[in-house]
Amino acid sequence: MRELLPLLPRPSRYAGIEDNVCRKDPTRVRLRVALAFPDTYEVGMSYLGQKILYGVVNARPQWWAERVMAPEREAAQVLREHNAPLATLESDTPLVRTHALCFSITHELCYTNVLYMLDLAGIPLRSADRPESLDACPLVMAGGGALLSAEPLTPFVDLMVLGDGEESLPDVLELLEKARDRGWTRKELLHAARRIPGVYVPSLFTPVSAAPGAPLRPLVADYARPARRIVADINKAAYPVRQVVPVGAVHNRLSLEIARGCTRGCRFCHAGVVYRPVRERSLENIHSLLRRCLDETGFDEISFLSLSTGDYSALKTLSLSVLDRCAEEQISLSLPSLRVGSIDDAIMERMAELRRTGCTLAPEAGSQRLRDVINKGVSEEGLLLHVQKLLEHGWRQVKLYFMIGLPTETDADLTAIADLCRKVRDAAGPGGPRLQVTAALSPFVPKPFTPFQWVAQSSQDEIRRRVNLVRDAFRGLKCLKLRWHEPAMSHLEGILSRADRRMADVVELAYRKGAVFCSWAEGFDLNPWLEALEACGLRAEDYTGPREPGAPLPWSHLEAGVSEDFLLREYRRALDGKITDDCRYGACRQCGACDTRAGSSRLPHTPTPETAYPTDADGMQAAPATATADAPPARQADSPFGAPAWPDAARHCNRLVFAQRDQAAHQPRRDDTGRIVCRVQGNRPPGVAPELTVKAAQYRVWHSRVAGSAWLSQLELQAVLDRALRRARLPLAFSQGFHPMPLVSFGRALPVGVESAAEWFALTLHQNLPPEAVAAQLAPHLPLGMEVTAVERTTKQARTEQAVAEAFCCRLPTAAENREVAHCFAAFAALDSCPRSRETKKGPRTTDLRPLLARWDVAKGDGAVTFVADWGSAYLSPLKLCLAILEPLGEETSLQPRLHLCKTAQIFADGQTRP
């Protein structure tokens, strides 16, 4: 793939030049592992799960984990045209030559992208078609949160890892290493892998009958029900400190997992079930990771990651301490979508002093009745109070998430969305400032292992009717915006979410018909899927329709941790509009995920339902309050259960930092008229430390850019350099304003793919350092192929001077071709003029290219051409100038991959040449 970088859009995605990339000698490793993400680079590099596994695997000296993402359609077309296989980013190794290919599956709409990547790699799509030799084809596996109901994907992977992968993946790789040493076949490996906790081998299950949608049964007696694996204590789990720093990811920031799991019990939420129990990371562990991660990555934004960040028991204590460092180093703290009432006044006060990021709240439904049905636990009073607190501390925009098509939803519930948004907008009261409210609607999709797994999904037409109803209710309301998710995409998600193995044929046929990147609204087309369904004799309604409680489901042979009895009880409570409390601070509901629970738990050594705890009026058992703290109640030696005390009772239970949340309730300040006293919007954020704005010293840093760093665009280079400067711990000076930025400026942008021995950027520090100290601190942190060549001090008042001319060296691979290059330069130099037209924002513009070539010569050796470009009359990309001169040699698409262009010097108005 590397040879094709000049032809690929955004080539930096495929160059493997990011900071903190792991590189090993391939001759010294025993296993080559490709961690694959079936979406674009920008999305894949935002996924924390892959970063964790990247660190886990590469911690073993004998293993080497590399990354691979799904190339965009244009890039894939280039690969196919040149018969180039999909390869890893780090070493450009074709995937078919790796030993293990591990996909991260985060949602159902990426299924066809898995086939897309396998096809581009030259790996047979179906597991049954792969050779038995483990040397001929890698072991294809999948992991991720969407795998507990991924039967349509099972024919295409050799095995699946269910649950937390930090422990499962190393176990599988150890077995693979052993299998390769002993010459096992693929089938022998898979039979042995079934004994690893958390591993699901689809080929060891078969339908119980030939009836459509028949449940699955195991082919091996001791492999009845694969269960997800749980990391009991995330403080002891591996976490990457030297995270790969992406080039232009969607979430280009440090994501720090502070907790895993959620027991709020939202009845529509798949993740809230399959990630139980709650396991919080300790404050000490978070602070240690935060310090080390920031030092190693140089990110300027932090995000706390968990299913429900606002429910972290020590969020206030953590946030206030972290915000201290943020203020010192101009780092912003971003909190994800928050539960109403989960962030108190002290946190808001401190966040308001720094850069305010957007605020997102998720009431999910407009009416209180429907919020009770889905067990959201959010009241209108609590929502408005939270918004008033935001107003008080200076927030003027808020985004609200809603779902439509929920069970028991009526038109009154839909119009209540507009009513609630209007109340949020006017939360400040009469005469107060209005909030800008953006409401986002997402169609409800029933998910497996949730209390709503049996309900029907609304049709596309019905969803569109409901969207229009809400849109009509928004008409004429100022300061309110409405957005909604494409109903066709949700319809497809619903088909795949509860599908059985028969859907595998549909997935493959849809891929053959061009269905890739189905989670992207741009280019999404439902027709290939509908055509594939019809061709396979299946109907969408069979998968989006209601299911009978108690009947076998396509995922019934897998164990998620919660019992079906618990899900059914919650479904019935939903129909009755009953709220179920969070078991961290209320009654134990016997979901089955913890060792502290009763007989419905899948975990060993648990009491029975009849003898565990008293039941309430709904048949729910209430655990003592101590069971919700750091450890479950201890069993006594003379316990009536007749079994010894739990040897590992604390392994699977809710683990909290504090027994109760440390956030306090708060009422906003009001004036004598009852209006909320809002923070005055100033012209300068108070959080910018005065010393950070001092311009103590200015420098010009000269550097080279060769090899991989040449593929960075100017915008990408600025972001990469910003993080490198932070890692170097240089005392950066910042601009003033609402978004302070390091005072760094650049020379002319170098075209992507062009190398240079003479680039520079201007740097301002708030402390005076010797130039050699600046060079020494910065050099180790620059990206691959970028080296500091000189640092010179400049006058603080001087304007950064640009070169009036630049020298280049141009060559093709062979001496014979370089002679043709020289002929082209000679012919161009003989011209009187060479006008070229190009489109600009102001219309067509004609430039005479001939004056841009000041002089040229032929170098000794391979006959490369050196030339000087004069920018006195106009500036043009030197790559475009060179390609225009070499136009007689052929088309750009064939010439550019073979052309090597390097800037060798910059020439200034005073005649000085650098370097």
Has residue 276 been placed in a domain?
no
Alpha-carbon distances, residue 159 vs 150, 509, 548, 645 (angstroms): 12, 22, 30, 36
What distance in Å separates the CA atoms of residue 162 and residue 165, rounded to the nearest whole number? 7
At residue 610, does pLDDT exceed 60? no
pLDDT band at 839 (very low <50, low <70, confident <90, very high): confident
What distance in Å separates the CA atoms of residue 883 and residue 564, rounded to the nearest whole number? 66
Whole-prediction pTM: 0.90
What distance in Å separates the CA atoms of residue 241 and residue 296, rounded to the nearest whole number? 7
Q: What is the pLDDT of residue 798?
A: 58
Number of domains in the chain: 4
Has residue 904 been placed in a domain?
yes
- CATH number of the domain that residue 732 is part of: 3.30.70.580
Under 8 Å between Cβ of 480 and 437: yes
What distance in Å separates the CA atoms of residue 719 and residue 725, rounded to the nearest whole number? 10
At residue 619, does pLDDT exceed 70? no
Residues 6+ apart with CB under 8 A from 360: 336, 337, 338, 398, 399, 400, 401
Q: Looking at 191-205, 494-508, 541-555, 837-851, which range is the least confident one?
A: 837-851
Q: Do 778 and 844 belong to one domain?
A: no
Alpha-carbon distances, residue 564 vs 446, 552, 748, 869 (angstroms): 15, 11, 63, 73
Under 8 Å between Cβ of 35 and 67: yes
pLDDT band at 799 (very low <50, low <70, confident <90, very high): low
Q: Do 898 and 760 belong to one domain?
A: no
What distance in Å separates the CA atoms of residue 785 and residue 765, rounded to the nearest whole number? 25
pLDDT band at 588 (very low <50, low <70, confident <90, very high): confident
Residues 6+ apart with CB under 8 A from 799: none
Q: Do 764 and 837 belong to one domain?
A: no
Strands 843-848, 835-840: pairing kind: antiparallel
- CATH number of the domain that residue 43 is part of: 3.40.50.280
Has residue 605 been placed in a domain?
no
**Nearest CA among 496, 542, 544 for reference residue 518:** 496
pLDDT band at 685 (very low <50, low <70, confident <90, very high): low
Residue range(s) defining the domain that contains residue 87: 24-207
Has residue 405 been placed in a domain?
yes
At residue 179, does pLDDT exceed 60? yes
Sign of CA dihedral 81, 84, 87, 90: negative
pLDDT band at 626 (very low <50, low <70, confident <90, very high): very low
What distance in Å separates the CA atoms of residue 188 and residue 558, rounded to the nearest whole number? 22
Q: What is the pLDDT of residue 654?
A: 86
At residue 644, does pLDDT exceed 90? no
**Measured in whole angstroms, how far is the alpha carbon of residue 214 from the centre of its chain?**
36
What's the average model confidence in pLDDT over 792-807? 83
Q: Do 789 and 816 belong to one domain?
A: no
Strands 744-746, 786-794: pairing kind: unpaired
Q: What is the pLDDT of residue 617?
A: 44
What distance in Å separates the CA atoms of residue 41 and residue 71, rounded to the nearest whole number? 8
Last residue of a domain, one of 542, 569, 596: 569
Q: Do 738 and 863 belong to one domain?
A: no
Q: Do 785 and 814 belong to one domain?
A: no
Q: What is the pLDDT of residue 620?
A: 45
Q: Do 484 and 546 belong to one domain?
A: yes
Q: Do 787 and 813 belong to one domain?
A: no
pLDDT band at 395 (very low <50, low <70, confident <90, very high): confident
At residue 396, does pLDDT exceed 70? yes
Last residue of a domain, one of 179, 207, 235: 207
Q: Looking at 137-146, 262-271, 411-420, 672-681, which range is the least confident one?
A: 672-681
Has residue 271 been placed in a domain?
no
Q: Residue written as tokens 């665009």?
A: 713
What's the average model confidence in pLDDT over 73-80? 96
Could you give the percent of the chain with pLDDT greater than 90? Answer: 70
Q: What is the pLDDT of residue 420?
A: 97
Q: Looking at 506-510, 515-519, 669-673, which range is the least confident one?
A: 669-673
pLDDT band at 340 (very low <50, low <70, confident <90, very high): confident
pLDDT band at 405 (very low <50, low <70, confident <90, very high): very high
The number of beta carbons lying within 10 Å of the beta carbon of residue 708 is 20
pLDDT band at 665 (very low <50, low <70, confident <90, very high): low
Q: What is the pLDDT of residue 684?
A: 47
At residue 604, does pLDDT exceed 60? no
At residue 632, does pLDDT exceed 50? no
At residue 556, does pLDDT exceed 60? yes
Q: What is the secondary structure of 624-656 as a DSSP string?
A: -GGGGSSSPPPPPTT-TTSSPPPTTGGGSS-B-
| 754-780 residue pLDDT tens | 999 999 999 999 999 999 999 999 999
Q: Do 781 and 841 belong to one domain?
A: no
**Residue at 825: amino acid letter:** F
What's the average model confidence in pLDDT over 444-471? 97
What distance in Å separates the CA atoms of residue 571 and residue 578, rounded to the nearest whole number? 10
At residue 660, does pLDDT exceed 50? yes
More confident residue, 107 or 210: 107
Q: Do 758 and 860 belong to one domain?
A: no
Q: Residue written as tokens 């590469």?
A: 58
At residue 642, does pLDDT exceed 60? no
What distance in Å separates the CA atoms of residue 258 and residue 657, rounded to the nearest whole number? 10
Under 8 Å between Cβ of 621 and 598: yes
Q: What is the pLDDT of residue 687?
A: 57
Has residue 637 been placed in a domain?
no
What distance in Å separates the CA atoms of residue 695 and residue 703, rounded to the nearest whole number? 23
Residues 6+ apart with CB under 8 A from 172: 100, 141, 159, 161, 193, 196, 199
**Measured in whole angstroms, how far is the alpha carbon of residue 299 from the centre of its chain?**
15
Has residue 580 been placed in a domain?
no
At residue 681, does pLDDT exceed 60? no
- Average model confidence (pLDDT) across the chain: 88
Q: What is the pLDDT of residue 500?
A: 94
More confident residue, 680 or 345: 345
Last residue of a domain, one of 154, 175, 207: 207
Q: What is the pLDDT of residue 686?
A: 52
- Helix, strand, coil share of the chain (percent; to 5): 35, 20, 45
> Residues 773-795, buried b or exposed e (16+ Cβ, 10 A)?
ebbebbeebbbbbbebeebeebe
Judge if the upstream peptide bond of residue 277 is cis by omega within 30 degrees of 0: yes
**Nearest 10 degrees: CA dihedral of 189, 191, 194, 195?**
-90
What distance in Å separates the CA atoms of residue 218 and residue 238, rounded to the nearest whole number? 33
Helices H / strands E in the chain, number of each: 24, 28
Q: What is the pLDDT of residue 341?
A: 73
The number of beta carbons lying within 10 Å of the beta carbon of residue 551 is 10
Q: Do 788 and 809 belong to one domain?
A: no
Under 8 Å between Cβ of 844 and 902: no
SS3 of 495, please? helix
**Residue at 462: amino acid letter:** E
Has residue 469 been placed in a domain?
yes
Q: What is the gyration radius of the CA atoms in the chain, in angstroms? A: 30
**Measured in whole angstroms, how far is the alpha carbon of residue 173 from the centre of its chain?**
25
More confident residue, 635 or 243: 243
Judge if the upstream peptide bond of residue 197 is cis by omega within 30 degrees of 0: no
The kind and range of the H/E element at 104 are strand 100-104
| 183-225 residue pLDDT tens | 999 999 999 999 999 999 999 999 988 777 788 999 998 898 8
More confident residue, 817 or 798: 817
Q: What is the pLDDT of residue 638?
A: 32
What DSSP designation does 621 have?
B
Q: Do 777 and 904 belong to one domain?
A: no
| 439-451 residue pLDDT tens | 999 999 999 999 9
| 22-61 residue pLDDT tens | 999 999 999 999 999 999 999 999 999 999 999 999 999 9
Instruction: Please state at what angle helix 878-885 crosses helix 815-829, rounded to 10 degrees.
Output: 90
3-state SS, 217-271, equals EECCCCCCCCECECCCCCCCCCCCCCCCECCCCCCCCEEEECEECCCCCCCCCCH
The number of beta carbons lying within 10 Å of the beta carbon of residue 764 is 21
